[in-house]
Amino acid sequence: MIEAEFLAALRTLPLHPGARGLADDAAVVAGLIVTTDTLVENVHFLSYDPPGDVAWKLVATNLSDLAAKGARPEGVLLSYPLGDDGWDRAFLAGLGEVLTAFDCPLIGGDTVSLPVGAPRVLTVTALGGNAVAPPRSGAHAGDALWVTGTIGDAGAGLAIAKGAPGPAELLDRYRRPQPRLAEGRALAPLVHAMMDVSDGLLIDASRMAAASGLAVTIDLAAVPLSPAGRAWRGDALAAATAGDDYELLFALPAGVEPPVGATRVGWFAAGAGLTLVEGERPVPLPDRLGFEHTPF
């Protein structure tokens, strides 16, 4: 089944009141934010990615979902396939780094053995506290759409990881994403809607608009590229359809300035669908807005 079909079927099962209809980045249970993310070898990471970076990414992507709900990390549970000594040790070193970096303790987990030759499948469940938990679906017509940081660096990093020439700085954005936890906490009480950008700016903005029952317009000229990203290729459309940014995307009433570094990239209006412009000029939608398969 494709994901949309599977999710539609899940929605017919008994759902927790905090599950938000399986349409948000995370759920709210007894005041805690709960989210889970799985990484698959040769799907979400490359076999030759350093194991410590895989650990970092596995935890960081979950913490990014907490950031989008304005939560402080309470801790993570890890499901881990035991393998060869070297890989496991390097993974543990990276796990220690990411847990320490984001002040996130280990809560528990499970280890398994995989059949010989099977790709690694790793799952983390993250719990967060102190959350305001703004929904993905709360944007109002007239709200501005903002994004933290810069977009497209991780997409460039993925190309570099696969062999393209480019600076270590961009590779690092792909391999060691930085969940915007402090920004999420500062923004959560102010925003109408918030989510993280994991699958691409265009597809994730479309999802926020659809969840909010609105149309969204994005100005490609406003998409924030880093100096390194601009030098590497500098293509705003490629940047806005690449994944793995793990920046925060949020809706604020027009005229409200966010308290953290962020860029206004678009606006919401009555209607449906995504419109692209570059300044005043309309831009046709690309065939592909980003990646599919997101946590629910």
Q: 3-class DSSP state for residue 224?
A: coil
Give least dist CB 296 to its own copies, A. Answer: 6
96/259 with CB nearer its own copies? 96
Dihedral (CA of 61, 66, 70, 73) sign: negative
9/231 with CB nearer its own copies? 9
Task: Count Cβ neighbours within 10 Å for each residue of 71-85 and write b for 16 or more, e otherwise.
Answer: bbbbebbbebbeeee
Would you say 251 and 139 are in contact if contact means Cβ atoms under 8 Å apart? yes
**Residue labelled with tokens 């925003």:** 191
Give least dist CB 253 to its own copies, A. Answer: 29
Task: Count Cβ neighbours within 10 Å for each residue of 6-37 and write b for 16 or more, e otherwise.
Answer: eeeeeeeeeeeebbbeeebbbbbeeebbbbbb
87/142 with CB nearer its own copies? 87
In this structure, what DSSP letter does residue 18 have?
G
Would strands 32-40 and 121-129 be described as parallel, antiparallel, or unpaired? antiparallel
Sheet strand arrangement including 215-219: 193-197, 247-252, 144-148, 262-269, 215-219, 273-278, 281-283
Give least dist CB 67 to its own copies, A. Answer: 16
26/191 with CB nearer its own copies? 26
3/257 with CB nearer its own copies? 3
Give least dist CB 243 to its own copies, A. Answer: 14
The number of beta carbons lying within 10 Å of the beta carbon of residue 106 is: 14
Would strands 247-252 and 144-148 be described as parallel, antiparallel, or unpaired? antiparallel
65/219 with CB nearer its own copies? 65
Give least dist CB 115 to its own copies, A. Answer: 5
Give least dist CB 95 to its own copies, A. Answer: 6
129/234 with CB nearer its own copies? 129
Element (H, E) at 217: strand 215-219
Give least dist CB 205 to its own copies, A. Answer: 21
Question: Which residue type does 105 have?
Answer: P
The number of beta carbons lying within 10 Å of the beta carbon of residue 116 is: 5
